[in-house]
Amino acid sequence: MDFLVDGRYAYAYTGGCPVGATRPLIVFIHGAQHDHSVWILQSRFFAHHGFSVLAVDLPGHGRSEGSPLASIEQLADWIAQLISTAGLGPAHLAGHSMGSLIALETAARHPEGVLSLALLGTAAPMRVSAALLDAARDDEARAFDMINAWSHSSITVHPGCPGPGFSIFNQNRRLMERQPPGVLHNDFLACNAYEGALAAAAQIQCPALVISGSRDIMTPARAARPLVETLRARPEPRPKATVVELADCGHAMMAEQPDQVLKTLRQFWTELDA
Amino acid sequence: MSQRDYQSFDTLAIHAGATPDLQHGARATPIYLSAAFGFRDSEQAAALFNMEQAGHVYSRISNPTIAVLEERLAALESGVGSVATASGQAALHLAIATLAGAGSHIVASSALYGGSHNLLHYTLRRFGIDTSFVNPRDPDAWRAAIRPTTRLLFGETLGNPGLDVLDLPTLSAIGHEAGVPLLVDSTFTTPWLMRPFDHGADLLIHSATKFLCGHGTVIGGILVDSGWFDWLRSGRFPELTEPYDGFHGMVFAEESTVAPFLLRARREGLRDFGACMSPFTAFQILQGVETLPLRMARHVDNTRKVVAFLAKHPLVRSVAYPELEEHPDYRLAQRLLPRGAGAVFCFELAADRHAGRRFVDALRVFSHLANVGDARSLIIHPASTTHFRMDADALAASGISEGTLRVSIGLEDPDDLITDLKAAFRAAEKG
């Protein structure tokens, strides 16, 4: 489904179902150098189980027009604008990696539009190593190798995603390779420069879920601890802050453990409804 | 690589796609001979059917043993995934049927395996799919043959049986310029000799019966997707970019950015045509793939020795092997096939048809049969067997004459193979 945001077309996958204001909205936000398809199984499931779903392609990624935006703050405003343009919301936001920072900042800047946050493969601050930043700028193929090696717990994870017979490892690489040149460096600079995560976490009033992978090298579980501690230190009445660590799971958690990610998200949103 | 990504070919050939069995600890891939797989509950059943969750439902669509083979070949070919099929021909049919229908057109090399030529020239025409055959060495002919209805360019990485080396970089560029993907049959080269996706091909098939299995035991095929082709931008493939009524309006290109072709091939092609692989076959091919690097090195080494012997023999008119400088694709082979030009080649006897028969009948180590890529060395007379349905013009276009013999060099001691050939030459001469 296409939307016009800031004069440019933006694409969001709706999970194979029409969206509507009568159903609660989930917005899935991908990470650096990715697009909506990293959420394929989860977004399709929720769309067929009572939710409106928008799995977005961020500007300059996938099918969305324009140049990639340079900061997490700009991306947060873009998400709020897209929801508004769609005539939907407020929304549950689910973000992966860079997308988790965008979700967090959206909740801080536009609290009226956000019902809850699910932050997957997150870290605060989300520093990108100098070696990876340099590779992203000078040698994208090298950067893709590094990301792929650090994003997967094994070369043999099962089940395949989106189903049997698919190579999770090679799909991730090809998806990265198919984004326009320069996007990766832009995204990593945005992650690296974002200093507002803890301030945003202290400020937000909605429930939050943090999902980490025990074998995540890109954003290790320990790198999410300052964020978790900040969420848990919010003043009363303290909104819920749930932390789940998936065993034997890498950074590419929606592909490596799609059922566990689905189960965790579902439990979180179901309990909020109750 | 400094980071641990375990992507070297030999490691992937043994490990890719296979996790140790968590229930019993089996280290080899178990053979899951089960037609169907139980659902945890009704909700999971519905989610599996509607592609909301990943898993196995019914072995025509997917199976745990077959999935290991599919993911291993995807890893070895640097593809995003693959679909195993009942045979190499089933893989070719699946690729075509996923992208083409009545009114569609294919541009194909004239140097093809006889069965593939048959499928394109006769059988698919009955279903409204037309094919233009072109000289594989003539890029302008490929370009000129493309029509608005063209859905595929198709050729063999090494043409059967003349070993024409397909110029993948040039042909893929021609295809991409027109928004048409290049499908190649990579049976003769295997990913150990060449990875076609590194040279611009978009899709590939194998007859896994051949070198991948390697022991002449089972029939199987595999269809691999590079994930590179931009189906949306091409504009020629509504099958992938517009709602499909056969799956509740699913738009495959929305579901997956890099693998919509494979989604449709499995969700429609395997579901409806049903040419699936047996789990036992997948196990046998997996065993072969584990030793593919070792075997291919030996196949090529043996082949070079036999080719050197034949090239100097007075009863041999010519040897068609791209590592020989006189082969028209010598330079291309040096560029695309640095590890070797495979283990199948043709040679022409400087003798009449009767002498040819005496030659074949006198062989004791070589087996006279219609296959290639076996551990055993094999020989056949294409004009009277694999390509017998082709008329004289088509035979000539494929580089086959009445005296052409095709051999597939196995893993025996090369000295024994040469001894066997010497005896056969003596028999041929006796008259």
Which residue in A166, A169, A171, A263 has the most chain B C-beta atoms within 10 A of its own C-beta, making it the best mutation to test that interface? A166
Could you report the per-residue pLDDT of B224-248, keeping only the tens digit for each? 999 999 999 999 999 999 999 999 8
Nearest to B356 by CA among B416, B396, B407: B407
**Residue B82, min C-alpha distance to chain A (Å):** 6
Q: Average pLDDT of B250-278?
A: 96
Assigned fold of A2-273: Rossmann fold (3.40.50)
Cα–Cα dist B305/A209, whole Å: 65
The rounded mean pLDDT for chain B is 94
Amino acid found at B347: F
Q: Average pLDDT of A154-175?
A: 87
> Percent of chain A beyond pLDDT 90?
91
Q: Average pLDDT of A178-204?
A: 96
Within an 8 Å CB–CB cutoff, is residue A41 touching chain B?
yes
pLDDT band per the 50, 70, 90 thresholds, residue B2: very low
Cβ–Cβ below 8 Å for B257 and A48: no
Q: Average pLDDT of A40-64?
A: 97
State ipTM.
0.95
For the whole prediction, is pTM greater than 0.90? yes
**What are the backbone angles phi and psi of residue A175, rounded to the nearest 5°?**
-60, -40
Query: Would you list the DSSP string of B291-329?
Result: THHHHHHHHHHHHHHHHHHHHT-TTEEEEE-TTSTTSTT
Cβ–Cβ below 8 Å for A155 and B4: no
Q: Average pLDDT of B13-41?
A: 91
* pLDDT recorded at residue B32: 95
CB-CB neighbors (< 8 A) of A174 in chain B: 80, 226-228, 258
pLDDT surpasses 60 at A33 = yes
Q: Is-contact B351 B185, C-beta < 8 A?
A: no
Could you report the per-residue pLDDT of B339-376, keeping only the tens digit for each? 999 999 999 998 877 888 899 999 999 999 989 999 99
pLDDT surpasses 60 at B4 = no
> Percent of chain B beyond pLDDT 90?
85
**Residue B255, min C-alpha distance to chain A (Å):** 6
pLDDT surpasses 50 at B81 = yes
Could you identify the residue written with the tokens 């299995």? B213
* Chain A / chain B CB contacts < 8 angstroms: 145
A148 or B22, greater pLDDT: A148
Residues 6+ apart with CB under 8 A from A94: A26, A27, A28, A29, A39, A42, A103, A117, A118, A120, A265
Cα–Cα dist B127/B43, whole Å: 40
The rounded mean pLDDT for chain A is 95
Q: By three-state DSSP, how is residue A35 classified?
A: coil
pLDDT surpasses 90 at A31 = yes
Domains defined for chain B, CATH in brackets: 9-288 (3.40.640.10), 292-430 (3.90.1150.10)
* pLDDT recorded at residue A200: 97
pLDDT surpasses 80 at B30 = yes
Q: Average pLDDT of B301-330?
A: 96
Cβ–Cβ below 8 Å for B3 and A157: no
> Percent of chain A beyond pLDDT 70?
99
Minimal Cα distance from B257: which residue of A?
A37
pLDDT surpasses 80 at B391 = no
pLDDT band per the 50, 70, 90 thresholds, residue B5: low
pLDDT surpasses 60 at A95 = yes
pLDDT surpasses 50 at B1 = no
Which residue among A156, A161, A164 places its CB closest to the CB of B15?
A156
Count the Cβ atoms, other than its own, within 10 Å of residue B45.
15
Minimal Cα distance from B256: which residue of A?
A37
pLDDT band per the 50, 70, 90 thresholds, residue B400: confident
Minimal Cα distance from B233: which residue of A?
A63
